[in-house]
Amino acid sequence: MPHRSCILLLCIVGSMLALEGAAMLNLTLPGQHPDPEAVVNEVHRMVNGSMARREMLLTVSSCLTGNPIDDCWKCDPDWPNNRQRLADCAIGFGQHAKGGKDGAFYVVTDSSDDDAVNPKPGTLRYAVIQNEPLWIVFPSNMKIKLSQELIFNSYKTLDGRGADVHIVGGGCITLQYISNVIIHNIHIHHCHPSGNTNVRSSPDHYGYRTLSDGDGISIFGSKDIWIDHCTLSRCKDGLIDAVMGSTGITISNNYFSHHNEVMLLGHSDDYLPDSGMQVTIAFNHFGPMLVQRMPRCRRGYIHVVNNDFTRWQMYAIGGSGEPTINSQGNRYTAPLNPFAKEVTKRVDTAEGKWKGWNWRSEGDIMVNGAFFVASGEGVEVKYEKAYSVEPKSADRISQLTMSAGVLGVAKDNSVGMWSKGPNSQGQGDGVTWLVPEYTEDYSQGSRVVLPSSLTFTLVWSFLLLFILSTVIL
């Protein structure tokens, strides 16, 4: 009898899971905030406060920008000696990312990456696999060409301030089943697939890795992640992908360019744990030669706030699997192509199904014919106005995003030179460090290839213009 009772109980529980699986799984992700709207409102409060302080103190201090992240640390003239202050400056869903705060400083002195199983002390790979919290810094400009994907351990900060650091090559950065990582002020580009070999992930473990996708940053089953002031371009797959139950992520102040599929959030439409994914995308500049996925969302709650989108080639924000997309105070500048003016795209989903999805636009500025197709609650419900999302404040987007990307250097990762700082390797200060232009052979196929449908549209448009001009003449 007891066995039959247990079987009956399991059947009842199984039925409940089948009926309410999505709702129950929505509560299982560690780090998931129970009230995402509260996090959204807090972001607005922080922006409002920074903007108000800037306007009040503009005649006193030229340091304040109105960007709450930058104003948190950049106005400290002694910030190089207070680097870990940065860990207190995150906003949004990734605000609890500690990185290597309260840990030791690790100085990367060796830019080589010759052995993915037994990395040398002094290399970046040796630092990121350690078990203890580390705040990783660079005393000089570096180009680190990875031999395999760079697998992080938890509680690490990659702090590229004060140097010009480029990460390229195999992988590139993998955050898998870990937490509390900050990646700040790093160039990440020309990443290509690698693998089918052993790679170390901690001092105690290495294992066989199959072929990677070639993402710039791959976030897999991880939480409390903050990516800030990085410049990303020209990777084989995505520039940033977050999948498999990752949550508590903030992507801020970055500069994206020259890429097809920019950002993927969510593993698949059927992967229910991604319903608990929560991501803040703030103060980024989505720049030239981007095609699509800024981001492309599956499930989860995605807050897109105060970003500058410049002339995508297919669409800016897409999704499937019923994600919540909250777009507030962004500037969307549509491309010249008359067939690509829509900001949004519901991917492989009939209108009758996506009409109930909660996609809302508030205070967004639409330029050059751009338009956002809202749905669900966003169409009918009036949300409380916040200073940072009112249409008049969209003019301030240029102010909020003016320093997007790596600080103090050219934003385009294809540049072949950079200026040396006072503690760079070489023949003294002010010398130019030449680096060969990255080629397609080097990046193994990172060229932006237009989708066939878009290519056809552009060819047809040019052909039509040619015919019209011939007739007129």
Q: Give me the mean pLDDT over the 238-256 stretch.
A: 97
Q: Taking 80 as the threshold, does the pLDDT of residue 450 lie above it?
A: no
Closest Cα to residue 324, out of 271, 293, 383, 279? 279
pLDDT at residue 31, rounded to an integer: 74
Give per-residue burial for 181-208: e unless 16+ CB within 10 Å, then b.
bbbbbbbbbbbbbbbeeebbbeeeebee
Express each pLDDT in 134-154 by its tens digit: 999 999 999 999 999 999 999
pLDDT at residue 460, rounded to an integer: 44
Distance CA 203, CA 121 (A): 12
* pLDDT classification of 49: cutoffs 50, 70, 90: confident
Report the length, in residues, of the chain.
473
* pLDDT classification of 25: cutoffs 50, 70, 90: very low
Distance CA 176, CA 242 (A): 10
Dihedral through CA 362, CA 364, CA 370, CA 372, nearest 10?
A: -20
Distance CA 431, CA 421 (A): 9
Tokens matching residue 12: 């009842």
Express each pLDDT in 306-357 by its tens digit: 999 999 999 999 999 999 999 999 999 999 999 999 999 999 999 989 999 9
Output the furthest CA–CA distance in the chain (Å, rounded). 93
* pLDDT classification of 456: cutoffs 50, 70, 90: very low
Q: Taking 50 as the threshold, does the pLDDT of residue 21 lie above it?
A: no
Helix H, strand E, coil C: the string for the chain is CHHHHHHHHHHHHHHHHHHHHHHHHCCCCCCCCCCHHHHHHHHHHHHHHHHHHHHHHCCCCCCCCCCHHHHHHCCCCCHHHCHHHHHHCCCHHHCCCCCCCCCEEEECCECCCCCCCCCCCCEHHHHHCCCCCEEEECCCCEEEEECCCEECCCCEEEECCCCCEEEEEECCEEEECCEEEEEECCEEEEEECCCCEEEEEECCEEEEECCCCCCCEEEECCEEEEEECCEEECCCCCCEEEECCCEEEEEECCEEECEEECEEECCCCCCHHHHHCEEEEECCEECCCEEECCCEEECCEEEEECCEEECCCCCCEEEECCCEEEEECCEEECCCCCCCCECEEECCCCHHHHCCCCEEEECCEEECCCECCCECHHHHCCCCCCHHHCHHHHHHHHHHHCCCCCCCCCCCCCCCEEECCCCCCCCCCCCEEECCCCCHHHHCCCCCCCCHHHHHHHHHHHHHHHHHHHHHC
* CA count, 13 A, side-chain hemisphere, 343: 26
Distance CA 222, CA 277 (A): 10
Tokens matching residue 99: 């990185």
Closest Cα to residue 98, out of 107, 106, 89? 89
Q: Taking 90 as the threshold, does the pLDDT of residue 457 lie above it?
A: no
Catalytic, 293? Answer yes
pLDDT at residue 446, rounded to an integer: 36
Catalytic residue among 293, 311, 331, 396: 293
Which of 342-346, 396-400, 408-412 is predicted with the least confidence, judged by mean pLDDT? 408-412
Q: Taking 90 as the threshold, does the pLDDT of residue 84 lie above it?
A: yes
pLDDT at residue 379, rounded to an integer: 54
Q: What does the domain layout of the chain look like in residue ranges?
A: 36-401, 417-472
pLDDT at residue 33, rounded to an integer: 87
Tokens matching residue 89: 């400056």
The residue written with tokens 């999505």 in the block is 22
pLDDT at residue 419, rounded to an integer: 32
pLDDT at residue 249, rounded to an integer: 98
Q: Give me the mean pLDDT over the 106-129 stretch.
A: 98
Q: Give me the mean pLDDT over the 57-61 stretch.
A: 63
Q: What is the sign of the dihedral through the CA atoms of 209, 124, 182 and 426? A: negative
Distance CA 315, CA 453 (A): 13
pLDDT at residue 59, rounded to an integer: 57
The residue written with tokens 């103060």 in the block is 283
Q: Taking 80 as the threshold, does the pLDDT of residue 65 lie above it?
A: yes
417/269: higher pLDDT: 269
Tokens matching residue 256: 């994206």
Average pLDDT of the chain to the nearest whole number: 82
452 contact partners, CB below 8 Å, separation of at least 6 = none
The three-point CA angle 131-229-134 to 5° equals 15
pLDDT at residue 464, rounded to an integer: 46
Find out whether 418 and 434 touch, Cβ atoms under 8 Å: no
Helix H, strand E, coil C: the string for 89-126 is CCCHHHCCCCCCCCCEEEECCECCCCCCCCCCCCEHHH
Q: Taking 70 as the threshold, does the pLDDT of residue 462 lie above it?
A: no
Express each pLDDT in 350-377 by its tens digit: 998 999 999 999 999 999 999 999 999 6
User: What is 36-401's CATH topology?
Assistant: Pectate Lyase C-like (2.160.20)
Q: Give me the mean pLDDT over the 18-22 stretch.
A: 39
